[in-house]
Amino acid sequence: MFCVSAMVVEDATSSVCDLGILDSLNGDAVREIMETWNGYCFATEAALLNGRGDLSCGSKLVSQARNLCKYGLESLVEEHFAGFLEETFEKNGASKFWEHFDVYSNVAAREMIMDRPYKDSTPEKRQNSGGTERLHLLSKYQSMVSSVLWLLFLLIFLTTVHNLAGDDYRSSALESIKGWIQAVPLQFLHALLAYLGDSINYDDTPSSGLKSPLVLCPSSCYAGIDSPSEGLVRWQFRLEYFAYETLQDLRIAKLFEIIVDYPDSSPAIEDLKQCLEYTGQHSKLVVSFISALRYRLLTAGASTNDLLHLYVSTIKALRTIDPAGVFLEAVGEPIREYLKGRKDTIKCIVTMLTDGTGGNSNGPGNTGDSLLEELNRDEESQVNTGVDDDFNTDDKQAWINAHRWEPDPVEADPLKGSRNQRKVDILGMIVSIIGSKDQLVNEYRVMLAEKLLNKSDYDIDAEIRTLELLKIHFGESSMQRCEIMLNDLIDSKRTNANLKATILQRSQAGLLYKRIFELGRAEAVGENGVSLDILNATIISSNFWPPIQDESFNIPEPVDRLLSDYAKRFNEVKTPRKLLWKKNLGTVKLELQFEDRSLQFTVTPLHASIITQFQDQTSWTSKNLSAAIGLPIDVLHRRINFWISKGILSESLGADSNDHIFTLVDGTADTSKTGANTGGYEELVVGDDDGDRSVASVEDQLHKEMAVYEKFVIMMLGSLGGMESHKIHNKLKMFYVADPRYDKSPQQLESFLSGLVAEDKLELIDGGIYKPV
C-alpha cells in the first residue's frame, strides 16, 4: 500500500512540479527522496499506531519530514500525514471513542477529546515553521476530524435511537432518547466545540446579532455545562429534530403493529404524536399506513370482527395524533370502503356495540367493552350529540364553537368538507360504514329480540342500559320499537306475577298481545298436577317486534293443557285480550332421570317435545315420531341430532332405508359417551345452528320483501338481456310502480340478486352482468 501510494504521489509530484526541478535532481537525490519518503511513511505509521507516549518515533519523523521538505515536498508530506491520521483515527480512536459512548461515560468522551491536542502535537512538532502555516494545518485537521466524527456520530446516533426505541410500544422512547441526547452526544459536542474553539461551525454565519429564534427558547438544563453556547443549543435542536425524525420513521413503519395492540401501545402513539408535531410529516404517515392496511388487513382472510376492531383502534389512536381528524379521514376511507363490501358488517357492528353490556363473554368482549365505554364517555362529555344533530346547535353552542375554531391543517382536503362534518365520533364513523342508522337500529332490534326471547328471567337491566345509550346517539324515535320490546318484558314480568297470584283486574295500554311461553323446570312434565308455577310467559306486542319464525308442532299434552289454562286465566284477567302462543319459542329446563343418573338440560321447546315422546315409548321410527310431534321428517332429523349427539338417543336404520329408528340409550349402555355429563348441566345455546333462530334475521326479512321483485327482474332480464345490478336498480326505480314502490339500496338489491343466482334463477357472468338462466 505504501509503495502504491508512494508511486502515485511521485507521479503526482512530477506532474505538478515543473520540469526544471526534475532536471536539477540527480540520481542520488531521487534515491534519497525515496528513502526518506519510505522512512517517513514508516515513521508516520509508527508514531500514530504505536501509541501516544512514544515520542522517539516522533523525533525521527520530524527529521524525515524536514528532509522531504528540503526537496519542496511539503504538501505531499502534509497530505500523507493527514490522510493517514484520518484513517488511523477512524480505525482506532473513533472505535474506542464510541465504545466509551456506549457505556455512557461522558468523562471518557471528554478524555478522548482531550487526547486530541496531544496527538495534534505531532504535526505541530514536525511543522514548527511559520504560525500561519500552522494555523492552516490545524484548521484542516480540525475539519477533517469533525467530518469523520460527524459521520460516525450519525451512525451511532441512529443505532442508539433504534435501540432505545426498540419494538416495545408499551413505554415512551422519546424521553429516554432525549435524556440520552442530553447525557452523551451533547456532552461530547460540548467538549468538541470547546476544543474547536466554538469556531468552525458558526464563524461563517453573519454576525449581525441576529440569533436563531431557537436559541432564545429556554432550553433544559445542560448537565455539567454552565452556560450553553449558541452553537451547542443549535446542536441540541438539530439533534433532537434528527431524533424525532428517526423515531417517527421507525414508528410509522410499525404503525400497523402499534395500532393492533392500541390501548397498550398508547405511549408509542404519544411519541409519534410529539414527533409529528416537530416534523410535520403527517402525509408520510397516511401513505405508509394505508399501504400497510391494504397489504395486511384488507384481505379476504381478515375477519370482519378484526377489521372493525382495528378500525376502532385506528380511530382512537389517530385521534390522539390528530384531533381534527383530517388524516383519520384519509386513512379510514379504505377501511370503510372495504367494510361496506362485507355482508356481515352490520351484524358485527351491532354485536360490538352491545356485547360488552350483555355480560356475554362469548365473543371478544374486550372491544365490546371499550365501545360501550366510548358510548359512556360521549354520554358524559357531549352536550349536543347525535349523528345528525349538527344543525340543532343553539346560539350559545354556536358561539362556543366559534371560539374554539381552529384552522384545518394544511393537508386537509378541501373537497372533503369542513371540520364540522369531520368530527371524530367513533359511533358516527361506524354508522357511516353502514350508511344509515336505520339499518343499524333494525339489526339491533333483531338481536335484541333474540336475546329477550331467550331470557329465562326477566332481568333486562343491561339491555335497558344499552338502549338508553343508543337512544342518546340515535334519538328517541328510532329506538322506540326497541323500547316497547323492553317494556313488554317488564309488563310480562308483572302480568306473570299477577296471574300466578290470581290477582285480578288491571288495565293496560291497548296493545295486541301475543304470547310466548317459557317453561320452567319441565321435569314435572307427565305428572298430572303440573302447576302454573313452572311456567313463565313473555308477552310481546307483536306489531313492534321483528317478524317471528313460526314452526308448528305438538307439544306434550300436559304442557299444552297448562298453556291453555294459562291463556284462559289471562283472558279472565285481561278481557278481551287473548293469548296466542308461539309454541316454538322460549326455553325449557328439563331433567332426564335414568336409573343410574340424572341429566339436566336447557333446550328449546321443540327439543323438549321430542325427548318427551321417549318417556313412554323408548323406541320410535322416524315416521311415527314425526307424526306424533307433527313435524316434517327432515326437520325432525335435524333437531333430533341434538339428543343423539348428547348420547341420549341412538339412531339405527330400520327396515325401510328411509325410516330410521331412534332408541333411548339405556343408562348403562353408553356411559363412556355420557359419563362426562352425568349429573352435569347442559345448555343448548339456542339459535346456534342457523335454522334455529327464533327471529327472522334482517336478511331473511329483506329477502322476503324483495321476493316481489323477483318476477319483475327475471321478466325484465328476459326481454332486455343481461344487465349489471346498478342498471337493474335504475330500471326498478323507474318502472316498478306498484305499491309499495321500490325503495331498496343498490347493496340490498345486489344481495338479493346473488340470492337469485344461488337459487339458479339467474346467472352472473363476467362484468357483473346478471342474466336469466
Q: What character string, x for contact with another protein (CB under 8 A) and - otherwise, covers 627-646? A: --------------------
State the minimum distance, in angstroms, from the CB of residue 712 to another protein: 4
Residue with cell 486530541: 116
Strand ranges of the sheet holding 762-765, from the earlier edge strand across to the other edge: 723-724, 769-772, 762-765
Is 716 a binding residue for another protein by CB under 8 A? The answer is yes
Pairing state between β 513-519 and 581-582:
parallel
**Binding string, residues 685-714; x marks residues near another protein by CB under 8 A:** --------------------------xx--
Binding range to another protein, per CB under 8 A, among 364-372, 530-538, 665-673, 727-735: 727-735
Contacting another protein (CB under 8 A), which of 51, 435, 680, 718? 718
509 binds another protein (CB under 8 A): no
Give all strands (DSSP E) within 584-695, no chain letters: 588-593, 598-603, 619-621, 649-653, 660-664, 681-683
8 A C-beta contact, residue 753 and residue 707: no
Which residue shows C-alpha cell 353502514?
A: 434
According to the binding rule CB under 8 A, does residue 241 interact with another protein?
A: no
Query: Using CA atoms, how far apart are residues 629 and 556, in angstroms rounded to an integer?
Result: 9
Residue 735 touches another protein, criterion: CB under 8 A: yes
Q: DSSP letter at 89?
A: I
Based on the shown chain and the rule CB under 8 A, indicate whether residue 715 belongs to the binding site for another protein.
Answer: yes
C-alpha–C-alpha distance, residues 359 and 514, integer Å:
28
- Is residue 720 near another protein by the rule CB under 8 A? yes
Q: Min. distance of Cβ 711 from another protein in angstroms?
A: 5
> What's the closest the beta carbon of residue 503 comes to another protein, in angstroms?
54
Nearest distance in Å: CB 769, another protein: 13
- Contact of 524 with 569, CB cutoff 8 Å: no
Q: How many residues does the chain have?
A: 773
SS3 letters across 330-380:
HHHHHHHHHHHCCCCHHHHHHHHHHHHHHCCCCCCHHHHHHHHHHHHHHHH
Residue in the structure block whose three cell numbers are 527529521: 63
Q: Does 744 bind another protein (CB under 8 A)?
A: no
Residue 715: CB minimum distance to another protein, A: 5
- 402 or 737, CB closer to another protein? 737
Nearer to another protein, 125 or 731 (CB): 731
Tell the smallest beta-carbon distance from residue 733 to another protein (Å).
11
Nearer to another protein, 372 or 723 (CB): 723
Residue whose grid cell is 451511532 = 156
Does residue 719 belong to the site contacting another protein (CB under 8 A)?
Answer: yes
773 binds another protein (CB under 8 A): no
Is cis: bond before 740, omega within 30 of 0?
A: yes
* 36 neighbors 67 (Cβ within 8 angstroms): yes
Q: How far is the CB of 706 from another protein (least distance, A)?
A: 14
Q: How far is the CB of 677 from another protein (least distance, A)?
A: 53
Q: By CB under 8 A, name the one of 738, 740, 741, 767 that touches another protein.
A: 738
127 within 8 A of 133, measured Cβ to Cβ: yes
Contact between 181 and 164 under an 8 Å Cβ cutoff? The reply is no
What is the chain's Cα-based Rg?
A: 43
Candidates 21-29, 163-171, 257-265, 728-736: pick the segment binding another protein (CB under 8 A).
Answer: 728-736
- Residue among 404 and 711 whose Cβ is closer to another protein: 711
Q: How far is the CB of 714 from another protein (least distance, A)?
A: 8
Pick the closer one to another protein by CB: 681 or 735.
735
Task: Verify binding: residue 734, another protein, rule CB under 8 A.
Answer: yes
Q: Give the separation between CA 459 and CA 539, rounded to whole angstroms.
A: 15
CA within 13 Å, CB half, 536: 20
C-alpha cell at 167: 419494538
Query: Is 759 one of the binding residues for another protein (CB under 8 A)?
Result: no
| Min CB(741)–another protein separation in Å | 11
Which of 278, 736 has the CB closer to another protein? 736
Residue with smaller CB distance to another protein, 703 or 727? 727
Comparison of 71 and 770: residue with beta carbon closer to another protein: 770
Asked if 762 and 772 touch (Cβ cutoff 8 Å), the reply is yes
| Region from 246-254, 294-302, 603-611, 718-726 binding another protein, contact rule CB under 8 A | 718-726
- Which residue in the set 737, 740, 741, 767 belongs to the binding site for another protein (CB under 8 A)? 737
- Neighbouring CB atoms inside 10 A of 573's CB total 16
Interface with another protein, residue 740, by CB under 8 A: no
Q: What contacts 589, CB < 8 A, 6 or more positions away? A: 456, 519, 520, 521, 522, 600, 601, 602
- Whether the CA torsion 519, 524, 527, 531 is positive or negative: it is negative
Using the minimum distance from each CB to another protein, give the nearer residue, 179 or 746.
746
Where does this chain bind another protein (CB under 8 A)? 711-712, 715-716, 718-720, 731, 734-738
